[in-house]
Structure 1
Amino acid sequence: MANTPPPFSRFEWMIAWRYLRARKADGGVSVMTLISLIGIALAVFALVATLAVREGLRSDIIQTMLGANAHAEVHYRRDFSGEIPVDHLIRDYSSLVEKIGGLPEVTHASPLVRGQVMGSYRGRNLPVDVYGITLEDLRNYPMVAKPNEALGSLDDFETGVAIGAMMARQLGVGVGDRIKLISPDGVKTAMGTSPRVSAYEVVFIFSSGQGFIDQSRLYLPLAQAQSFFNREGAVDQVDLRLTNPAKVGALILPILRSSGDRAYVTTWQDRAGGMIQALKMQDNAIFIVLSILVLIAALNIVSGLIMLVKNKGRDIGILRTMGLSQGSILRVFFLCGASVGTVGTLIGVVLGVVFAANIDSIYGLVDWITGSGVRDLEANGFFFPSAIVTIGDVSSAAGLSLALSWLITFFPARRAARMNPVEALRYE
């Protein structure tokens, strides 16, 4: 009994390669093959590039969001079960900061006083969200301490307040002006509680990149905030910054164990749950739409392969009479289509990675062509994200392209394998 050659033997690769190179005059479809390859490459390039920009946009949004906010917050619950009610204030915050700050993934723990007041300057009023914090702790929030745009000096924070740029604009406040803070929960007297009014010099104006922060947030030195909000010797919460904010969920239990029975934790993911869900839905929609483009490009391979099978009917009949099995014929034409899909996928991945790695140069090219278009759009609030290539995105794009191109190639290849050699040679 003759030895049966193993699948995908050398002669099968040779025949497939010869068919791919054959010109139309010789029964080949080289032009269609080139068009199919370019189509797959462009579709995969668009998918990889878009996924990279999408990941960059997600990263930029999260970094902007976390640049002025805590990754996690530790609060105390009120306790009314005993004879003496216990409020929500954290009075042992120094020891709590030391305990939580010692956890492996925690980079910084900051005691914080929170309060809502009315800000006033020369007849203009605005709701203000006050954060009482030390200068050392404030420096750990990069979008506040080191923003892209700022006025004044943060070094003078102990003698004044830091406010957002939009708040300063709406109140008409500049560096050196004194802003009034009015709190309804002020001094307790025999006649009741009277509003507390204090004036503070504006020493630093920051632009964090988040409108709701720049419009409403004011940072006040911790000691002064404790006095203003009647928090002597206590704080409202302890803010935590972590090595990896994405893994904050795994740290909740260790934080609670270090914080005591009355503690509870809120994370940045809790605050931004709606936005994260919206980003996920957007990611799924983008991937589906671009997957359709890859499918359309892969269908070009099918059309080219069907034409190749039709033109090579005589060759198929001769090969079958020479002893080639149906399996060998199937594998030859499968290799023709799969090779185009594979090469196109690799080219598309390389183009997508190069595009993402040079996204700043791409923006610069657009800027040069349009005449400072990017800078003008950014000045008007448009956002040009960075691009981040991840192994998962590249794998999903390449895997989708290969799966589609290989799967749909199987059907015309099977048609070639089932061709009757007698019918193929009847009119030759």
Structure 2
Amino acid sequence: MFKLPYEFLLSWRYTRAKRRNGFISFISLSSMIGIALGITALITVLSIMNGFQQELRERILGMTAHMTLTEADNRLRDWQSVYSQVIDYPKILGAAPNISEQAMLTGSGEVKGTMIRGVLPEQEGQVSDIENQMVLGSFEQLQPKAYQIILGSELASTLGVSLGDKVTVIAPQGTVSPLGVVPRIKRFTVIGVFEAGMHEYDSGMAFIHLKDAQTLFKYGEAVGGLQLKIEDLFKVFEVREDLGKHLTGRYYVRDWTQQHVNFFKAIEMEKRMMFIVLALIIMVAAFNIVSTMVMVVTDKQSDIAVLRTIGASPFNIQSIFILQGLIIGSIGVILGLIGGISLASNIDVIVPLIEQLLGFQFFPADVYYISKVPSLIIWSDVYSVAIVAFVLTLIATLYPAWRASKIQPAEALRYE
């Protein structure tokens, strides 16, 4: 029959025994609860930040492609040939040509700088979610040579226009005339309004047909680039290398990590700083174990002396108190993991309940684009939190255990 080491049995007995000094038990319990609360808070906050990051990423990439292929001068001339090469590639889900140029829009006396995107309606759905974000009109209504335009909801509001109204597009590419360079101006009819849930797009983007964009911006038969949607957006570097071997010709690739690198770096930095700040809660609770174990060692000096006299080595004594501290910390870690995972998994139920009880919303829908608190548990974060908490607990036990191993039996039993 398997027998546990006596060091573990003694540490477990000391942990669950009712000591003569009730204050030691209180500090031990408070350390355990502190570690559990710190881990619960850290897992919950990291999961919420992961949820926000995923939500923002989906909204951003819902309007932009994962990757864009173009040539040196940002003109892709034989885009049909490139399309035929990439569309059957296993890791690519869809492809669509586009032209993105800046222009001025005027309507109802208002002027607004805008990013004009020329697209093919029948192919754009392969790389973006614009069709599902229409609030007025239909994206499929875009017709070539009809000079129709679809505006973002905030852009339409700023210009004071709606379905059927006219807006004037002023392109920076001028036309040379006897009077000099004259801006290219064209009237478009508003046939739709979209709402992506991102201020950058809703207030500064408009869609027109690819043929109209080629005429307006003097592209001829070329396009600005070929947008690609891939299976796994986190494998853009791998797909980029494969495309370099697969394609015949010299092309430049831009991916979503380059286009929004500062934004996602800021979110990642914020997540790391939040991890450090909340880890301090665990650190404080873990180092409460130091005071607990020091008092336990003082309280158990006679026991330590007896163990030493019957043959226990300093290492055995040290192991007893390290194990006792780890038991306290491990219970706190397990309770914290259960609490954090449970809270993060049910945040969509808990937050509305709190809002109902308190009578206000954390993220009002008329102020914030994301009106619900999202949550995404990433297990690597959970493992990291558990490991950090366990290591801090181990460190907190070293000094008291070392102090216990240095107790001399004769000194400890002198006044017994």
What is the correspondence of 1:217-232 to structure 2 with a 5 Å cutoff? 217-232=205-220
- 1:298-340 deviation per Cα after TM superposition (whole angstroms, max 9, x unaligned): 0111111111111111111122222222222211111110011
Q: Are 1:64 and 2:64 matched, yes or no?
A: no
**Residue 153 of structure 1 is aligned with which of 138, 162, 165?**
138
- 1:99-127 deviation per Cα after TM superposition (whole angstroms, max 9, x unaligned): 12222221111111222222122322222
Shift of 1:187: 5.8
Q: Are 1:43 and 2:38 matched, yes or no?
A: yes
What TM-score, normalized to structure 1? Answer: 0.89
- Partner of 1:374: helix, strand, or coil? coil
Q: Distance in 1 between matches of 2:129 and 2:153?
A: 12
Instruction: State the AA in 2 paired with 1:66.
Output: L
Seq. identity, %: 29
Shift of 1:261: 3.8
Residue 111 of structure 1 corresponds to 97
Q: Distance in 2 between matches of 1:300 and 1:353?
A: 24
- 1:43-66 deviation per Cα after TM superposition (whole angstroms, max 9, x unaligned): 111121122122222222222221
Instruction: State the AA in 2 paired with 1:338.
Output: L
Size of the aligned set, in residue pairs, is 411
Unaligned runs of 5+ in 2: none
Q: Indicate conservation of the 8 Å contact 2:36/2:336, yes or no.
A: yes
- 1:328-371 deviation per Cα after TM superposition (whole angstroms, max 9, x unaligned): 22111111100111111111111111111111112212221222
Shift of 1:229: 2.6
- Worse-superposed segment, 232-241 or 35-44: 232-241
Residue 85 of structure 1 corresponds to none
Residue 380 of structure 1 corresponds to 367
- Worse-superposed segment, 24-33 or 8-17: 24-33
Q: Distance in 2 between matches of 1:18 and 1:152?
A: 73
RMSD: 2.4
Q: Are 1:343 and 2:331 matched, yes or no?
A: yes
Residue 124 of structure 1 corresponds to 110
- Worse-superposed segment, 393-402 or 357-366: 357-366
Q: Are 1:235 and 2:235 matched, yes or no?
A: no
What TM-score, normalized to structure 2? Answer: 0.91
Q: Indicate conservation of the 8 Å contact 1:20/1:28, yes or no.
A: no
Q: Distance in 2 between matches of 1:113 and 1:370?
A: 49
Q: Indicate conservation of the 8 Å contact 1:22/1:29, yes or no.
A: no
Q: Distance in 1 between matches of 2:407 and 2:188?
A: 89
Q: CA 1:188–1:28 in structure 2 vs 1: closer, same or farther (change >3 Å)?
A: closer
What is the correspondence of 1:12-91 to structure 2 with a 5 Å cutoff? 12-25=7-20, 29-78=24-73, 88-91=74-77
Q: Distance in 2 between matches of 1:40 and 1:375?
A: 30
Shift of 1:375: 5.2
Q: Distance in 1 between matches of 2:107 and 2:394?
A: 69
Q: Indicate conservation of the 8 Å contact 2:290/2:396, yes or no.
A: yes
- 1:270-301 deviation per Cα after TM superposition (whole angstroms, max 9, x unaligned): 11122233223222321221222111110111
Unaligned runs of 5+ in 1: 1-5, 79-87
Q: Distance in 1 between matches of 2:286 and 2:369?
A: 35
- Partner of 1:296: helix, strand, or coil? helix
Q: Are 1:420 and 2:405 matched, yes or no?
A: no
